[in-house]
């Protein structure tokens, strides 16, 4: 193999020490220079001088926990002298029985000298500060969710079934009731009158749900939990203000990301903090999706596909995008919603969620790279893309329930056909005219409606439920008997 870097160093990083091995090519021979340094800032600066002294062109080290970060902080200041590469330890595992600290750093130096290692993406210092803030926000939100769950469990221990009536126990109504309980109020009727909005109609249910066994011990624990929740809410508010301050100057990127359905300010912060603002570190959108762990795994042997499990990626970015995918699945007339239901029909809800998260990341990559905004394709995008296939699918569904369907092309400029009763029966109330003008029409050879029948019932071929009933009522009102309830 051809040597790409004449002088390459491998670092085996530990908590208290760093083993260094420098491979120097001299003609057909390779000379090894070794060193051992501590991990204090002074020792790491001495190691940096040692690498400069031997005119190292490239430095390779494994991402060992958080212990590689102090080394990176010192070596990052010498990027003009040599390049630093951080590799995944899973990609350079040693063979069993051949593992020592000296052999590890020598192996890293050899693989780096032949340029056989892929470096991990290490963002610039500004983006790393964003990451610290957004990840801190994620951890605070997790703590907040845990406190809310503890409050719900604590209420259940006192026979208070607030969560059975109120979907959000710390919403406006729930917060007022919880504070009244902590203050010593035990009258269920008074607590039920604290309801806001639509929950006012459920005061009877609230009165029944709030009848329990409230003791001083219960109130003290509830006050403690409410204090924790208030403290976390205050911390989240302060952190949001700090993130906005740190990301000042990137409001345009945030605005473009928020044009994606389901993506709000918090998600835009996470995307910028994890991906950065410069997409040049990813060759294309597929590489970005693979780095985030939002694409199927590739495992094939003997011509057979073994497993398609997603690989481990950036868990903060993936979790945020998956949450947005679940949220966008409830939208209407949206391309991402159509994609979700299209995949869920064949592969299930979880795979559909991952597919939508993958698509959101692909869209975000192009918005950041090209400086464009999201263009909505519409919920009927797949129908318009292949109208003939859509017409065949809908025709087959109608035929399965006993209808004879004739497809005709309307004349040029004709108005689109209205929704047919059969389409309503199938639940497709928003059935639009297909893209290429193919309009489904249900053949109906039934006789026209008689004066004693209405058109609606005649169309369905059933005895009239409207006009015949009215005629009978005019002739003999006593003949109309209401069904018993």
What does the pLDDT look like over 103-122, one tens digit per residue?
A: 889 889 888 888 888 888 88
Residue 82: name the closest of 92, 72, 90, 91 by CA.
Answer: 72
Q: Does domain 126-246 have CATH number 1.10.1610?
A: no
pLDDT for position 195: 92
Cβ proximity of 429 and 445 under 8 Å: no
Q: Could you state, in order of their start, the residue ranges of all structural domains in the chain?
A: 7-113, 126-246, 263-300+307-370, 383-411+420-442, 446-485
CA 40/CA 274 separation, integer angstroms: 28
Could you count the other beta carbons within 10 Å of the beta carbon of residue 232? 19
Q: How many CA atoms lie within 13 A of 226 on its CB side?
A: 20
Look at the domain 7-113 and name its fold. Answer: Nucleotidyltransferase; domain 5 (3.30.420)
pLDDT for position 483: 43
pLDDT for position 388: 86
pLDDT for position 119: 86
pLDDT for position 255: 94
Length of the chain measured in residues: 485
Q: How confident is the model at residue 451 (pLDDT cuts 50, 70, 90)?
A: low
Measured CA distances, 118 to 100, 113, 219, 277 (Å): 23, 12, 57, 21
Q: How many CA atoms lie within 13 A of 288 on its CB side?
A: 27
Question: Across residues 88-106, what is the average pLDDT?
Answer: 82
Lowest mean pLDDT among 199-208, 331-340, 378-387, 406-415: 406-415
- What are residue 7's phi and psi, to 5 degrees? -130, 115
Q: How confident is the model at residue 89 (pLDDT cuts 50, 70, 90)?
A: confident
Lowest mean pLDDT among 5-19, 155-169, 247-261, 302-316: 302-316
Question: Across residues 422-441, what is the average pLDDT?
Answer: 41
State the alpha helices, DSSP H only, in 120-215: 125-157, 172-183, 188-192, 203-209
pLDDT for position 455: 64
Q: How many CA atoms lie within 13 A of 241 on its CB side?
A: 5
Which pairs from 243-246 meet CB under 8 Å and 24+ separation? Answer: 243/130, 243/133, 243/134, 243/137, 243/269, 246/129, 246/130, 246/133
User: Longest Cα pair distance anywhere in the chain, in angstroms?
Assistant: 115
pLDDT for position 479: 44
Question: Across residues 400-412, what is the average pLDDT?
Answer: 80
Give residues with Cβ within 8 angstroms of 401, minimum separation 6: 422, 425, 426
- What are residue 66's phi and psi, to 5 degrees? -110, 5
pLDDT for position 256: 93
Residue 409 has pLDDT above 90, yes or no: no
Residue 320 has pLDDT above 50, yes or no: yes
Could you count the other beta carbons within 10 Å of the beta carbon of residue 118? 9
Residue 38 has pLDDT above 60, yes or no: yes
**Is 126-246 in the same CATH topology as 7-113?**
no
342: enclosing H helix or E strand:
helix 335-347
Lowest mean pLDDT among 24-28, 80-84, 311-315: 24-28
Q: How confident is the model at residue 82 (pLDDT cuts 50, 70, 90)?
A: confident
State the alpha helices, DSSP H only, in 371-412: 381-385, 387-400
- pLDDT tens column, 232-256: 999 999 999 999 999 999 999 999 9
pLDDT for position 422: 45
Residue 189: name the closest of 172, 169, 210 by CA.
Answer: 210
Specify which residues 60 forms β-bridges with.
10, 85
Question: Across residues 254-280, what is the average pLDDT?
Answer: 93
Instruction: Dihedral sign for Cα 128, 132, 137, 142, please.
Output: positive
Q: How confident is the model at residue 70 (pLDDT cuts 50, 70, 90)?
A: very high
Return mean pLDDT, the chain. 84
pLDDT for position 323: 93
């Amino acid at each position: 193999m051809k040597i790409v870097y004449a002088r390459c160093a491998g670092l085996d990083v530990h908590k208290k020490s760093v083993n260094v091995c420098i491979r120097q090519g001299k003609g057909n021979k390779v000379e090894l220079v070794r060193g051992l340094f501590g991990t204090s800032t002074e020792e790491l600066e001495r190691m940096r001088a040692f690498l400069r002294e031997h005119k190292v062109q490239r430095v390779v080290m494994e991402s060992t926990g958080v212990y590689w970060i102090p080394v990176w902080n010192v070596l990052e200041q010498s990027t003009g002298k040599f390049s630093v590469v951080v590799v995944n330890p899973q990609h350079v595992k040693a063979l069993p029985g051949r593992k020592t600290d000296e052999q590890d750093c020598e192996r890293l130096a050899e693989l780096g000298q032949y340029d056989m290692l892929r470096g991990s993406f290490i963002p610039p210092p500004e983006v790393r500060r964003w990451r610290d803030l957004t990840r801190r926000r994620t951890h605070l939100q997790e703590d907040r969710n845990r406190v809310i769950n503890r409050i719900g469990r604590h209420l259940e221990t006192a026979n208070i079934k607030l969560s059975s009536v109120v979907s959000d126990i710390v919403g406006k109504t729930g917060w007022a009731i919880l504070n009244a309980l902590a203050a010593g109020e035990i009258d269920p009727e008074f607590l039920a009158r604290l309801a806001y909005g639509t929950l006012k109609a459920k005061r009877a249910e609230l009165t029944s749900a709030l009848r329990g066994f409230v003791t001083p011990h219960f109130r003290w624990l509830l006050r403690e939990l409410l204090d924790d929740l208030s403290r976390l809410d205050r911390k989240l508010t302060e952190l949001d203000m700090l993130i906005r301050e740190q990301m000042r100057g990137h409001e345009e990127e945030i605005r473009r990301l928020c044009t994606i359905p389901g993506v709000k300010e918090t998600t835009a912060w996470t995307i910028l903090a994890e991906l950065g603002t410069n997409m040049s570190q990813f060759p294309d959108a597929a590489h970005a999706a693979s780095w985030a762990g939002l694409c199927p795994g590739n495992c094939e042997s003997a011509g057979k596909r073994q497993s398609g499990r997603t690989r481990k990626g950036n868990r903060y970015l993936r979790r945020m995008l998956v949450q947005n995918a679940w949220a966008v699945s409830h939208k209407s007339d949206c391309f991402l919603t159509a994609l979700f239901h299209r995949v869920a029909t064949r592969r299930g809800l979880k795979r559909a969620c991952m597919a939508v998260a993958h698509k959101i990341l692909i869209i975000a990559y192009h918005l950041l790279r090209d400086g464009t905004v999201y263009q909505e394709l519409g919920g009927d995008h797949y129908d318009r893309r292949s109208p003939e296939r859509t017409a065949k699918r809908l025709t087959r569904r109608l035929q399965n329930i006993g209808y004879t369907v004739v497809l005709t092309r309307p004349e040029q400029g004709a108005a689109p056909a209205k929704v047919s009763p059969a389409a309503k029966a199938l639940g497709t109330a928003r059935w639009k005219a297909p893209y290429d003008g193919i309009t489904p029409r249900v053949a109906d050879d039934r006789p026209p409606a008689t004066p004693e029948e209405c058109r609606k019932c005649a169309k369905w071929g059933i005895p009239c439920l409207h006009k015949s009933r009215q005629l009978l009522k005019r002739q003999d009102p006593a003949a109309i008997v209401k069904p018993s309830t």
